[in-house]
Structure 1
């Protein structure tokens, strides 16, 4: 073993560039000194540089030693009994007398850390922990302090802080050892983690806890910040060395808000009380335990926590028809929540715009009304900034709104695809895609992706065909069962661009294909970005309607013949879409596919069923809740929490945590189409208030305490 070591050995590599620089200087020097003098100068410079590098690398000389430095860390908290104090005092005196050639020191601690001293720790009327600090920066009151101050210092046991302080006081050059005398009644910190970090052997000598009956309120934990009216919990920890029963009281300022008789078992007892702040900007919550059968020290039977109220929470509701959601907004405002209602055009498109709110709610807003940027900003706001997000059901929500595989579906706790019921009518659908030269690049790739998503949304009883056109019409995938999803998707992926734009023959072929199927519902989706060659499009649309078919059209970009496409959709009893950005096409196809299947909505009245009991439904009589008149069918994601279900077991209220935030899906609505009876229910406002408060952004900082 070498007699030295380096604390920063990587810095030894500096020798190489320094040696090169010195060699270059020696060879290229223009000095006219004699060679001997130049060599002497080189040696001197080299030695100086070497010493500097060794110093930077932390050269340390090692020598063997058997001399120990033992630091006795002594618990002087109130939980240490009188018998333990006597035992500890005798043990420490013997350690001091028998130290021999070794070094010993003593460190008293309780809730705070005392000063290292050479003499054994003193118990009794004035314990060492109350001694005058040797350093003015150590915040330990002098022995002449008040009884309350002294009790505050001794009312707790911070083992972790004691170990960290002891490790910091150990001098180099000794075999170090920490010996802890404690009853192990830890009230703060993590002693095991602190011992592991110290890398110093730690021996514990257990001291018996106070034999006299003792109960103390060890901790009152509250959030440092909440929103006005937001429910939060006051978490209380009470330690007892015997079984007892007492009255636990919670005070907000001078006002008693809770008074409950609670049984206390020997050891740690934890209790949780829900509270809220309605008007005060700052509130102190004091917890006191009294009426005990037996207790020795009364001064440690109370503790407090401080909470700051940061004003009313703000919620932004985006609704296609804002007037229809006003009743929900008024109900939330009656419960102390500030609400802004906007149409989709008012959706923020920056993080700064969303940061003004704790929660964003979308009510019956299709994905096509939002930009990809707005969706991505919402995801970032939830995931990284803790925002809350709720989507309500409606004829333009979830799958019906085109959210399948969208950025917003990623953050939702439900999926827009679902198992189609057997009694639902089968769908025959033909996708007609423009593959002309102008579609090359993103437009065609997005169209192919949209077609593949449409296939995934179809049930096994549905049928699909895919056509593509330029100057000619191509059968990409023949009419077949949608259960062949892999085969159809692979065929779609092979579409390539080229040629002109002749859409009428493709429309005519789609009619012939659908006319030969047995599907109950028949639908065509036509997509193009240009102006087609002439054809009797309107006549063909009327012919399709007569055959009980519907036609929807999608214009990609501003160069398409929007007037013609809009006319075809109107006559064909379908829908017309203008996708200014090709990235909107997948949402449009998803929306059209689900809408055409007429299977995503169930409008049979049902009474919501509670599947999972949660505090968000506290004090709400869900058994008295009236019927809802419909909902959008979805599937819960594997790690989500399903709270309410429909009469058929489909998800109604589902939530989960996404990153730092929380999102929820309510598959019915909160307005008169499906919630007409609910809006007359006395629990309507309370239900939505508690769901909103559960989901919205909230502070998770805990632990501010005051003595």
Structure 2
């Protein structure tokens, strides 16, 4: 058992200290019996020291042990993508360094790059790893994860990125692999270049061997994107193909690889889903939109749901939905059906005397029909200091780190963040994201998970770099919705000052914070856990660095210093005038995407038009709010119920009895958010009776995951190019299978062993065949040829994880010195004092015995 005492002094076996109780009783009895006080004192002192020794006293100290630098290991990336970079760099560097220090070289080759795996395999405390690569990794452990692992374990990893000397183009098509007949399907073609030089080429896009787009492009940046849409008019399998034609006769001098100049995507076109629309307004903008997309049956009330892929309930009062109909809806949804409920003046919170609230129908919905007090739209990065100084005593029987983590948990459990999206990062020498993205705190399951993750945090790094943490926070917030309010809360022991002459980390942190606050409008709060022994928390003039930091960036009102044992106090509230201005500014009903990662909102960065009204609802704990007003009112909220999907669109159908709330959402680009919501709720069209497939674009020689859902019992039997597929259960009626193809082109997934590959020409002949019992799977070249040239994110990952980036010119002069310094890592060690207390007890007893013997017998 370990127990923490003040001032860094601890006992390994705290239970042995209970023996001090009998010792105290012995001393009390001795005094009562009037035993010789000197004799009593000496023997009690000896026993006291023996008990202390038995409890194993120790203290935790920071040390910097020296280790012998055995070698430098070079990870030489010789995979296919490296053909575009300067050749022979690894051998040249190894030969030069080998004359001064042992060098080992390990290579990565082939058409797959497992850079992360290689880093983990070679990293160790005595081994300085130098990665010579373009940073492109497409299999195995992600590079960022591998570098983070090495940083946590004090394994030094740096990089040298050779110069890109060959120009190359690659093309890729983004888009869904399933489309609905007579509906627009949206695609994006990405053309990547290895060098930022001017280059001209031609893009040609064909669908089923027919040209649909051809464009001349002059590109200077690394990525060029072309968006287009197409309406498929026949059912069954189709192909979309993009081809690059470099604008030069001398192709090889202009474009290095030829196998990445074309990309093929398979698209399976399904019949229009059958949808029941329950409405009193059959000519509303909602109804007209649905008629374009689906096979719509309009009814004024509920009827049979058989053979319907979804039901849309448009502005229906609670009084019109009976309990019998509700039970039928529940069974329908749980067994895989979809439902979308549209708002208006007769649904959710209207009419006032009979709303959906507390009805059986509301049990099916992802929202309750009551106003939401959540203002919404706030992203919060919680930065927790985990530097070694936080292991010091807090002066009240614990460690400073315990105070930091306890305050973080209290903050997450408070009403302040109950509706925010929170990302927790730790910072010591660098910033580390422990939540892997923002977490919606309105879900109780998320809060409990995050609470548990915070309690697992342990110290990392060898110093405190607030700047690194702020840079990580900036990166995380930059990826979120720009219209959302953003805040950073720093919880630290305040040891953020410079630790040596010439150290500028404090000044850099101020500059970084000023940019975040002034340029990006991000609020910054500092909770300073006052720790008596923390170094670098006080300036030479006696001012706290944390307080000075907040003063410098003009946010002194957001600085809070608390003593150990106290709990966090942070407020985002605005003064009444600011709140009133905010209400006025957003009263028009401007709406924003809250969750950009969901299928419905993916790649929708902005909704241009406002809405004039909405129903007041509150999302249920496990629902996903996707679109909200700027004041946080839910507009589109979804959840899964059994095997089915339910969406609540809490604004009207665009008609609104002459005063429409949301007419703009059913026309132009903004209508995409409505059609995607409807598509999400519609059940997948079946390939044949009871089987649904999700087939992604596959890559040559790389396993591709096929998701399978069945409506019946038993494992389905499927074939990939006439070979039986190995199918594994992953849930209730859900399965997966991994398939691998080694040839470019279209391949088949079928219920019977059909003929294998089809050429593109044959595909155009079979396209449009109704009730085809097979699905196409397009196989393209490996990812090694998709992402060409240097990966600039690799540089960032190396630097953020404590590594260095060398150039070919300075590697020889710097790396040997850096390799030596990197081994002098600060580590925490326990220093035990047992023997000292034993020796002290023995000496006291020996000296007293000699003295007593001399006085009583020698004289």
TM-score by length of 2: 0.34
Of structures 1 and 2, the larger Rg is shown by 1
Higher relative contact order (CA 8 A, sep 6+): 2
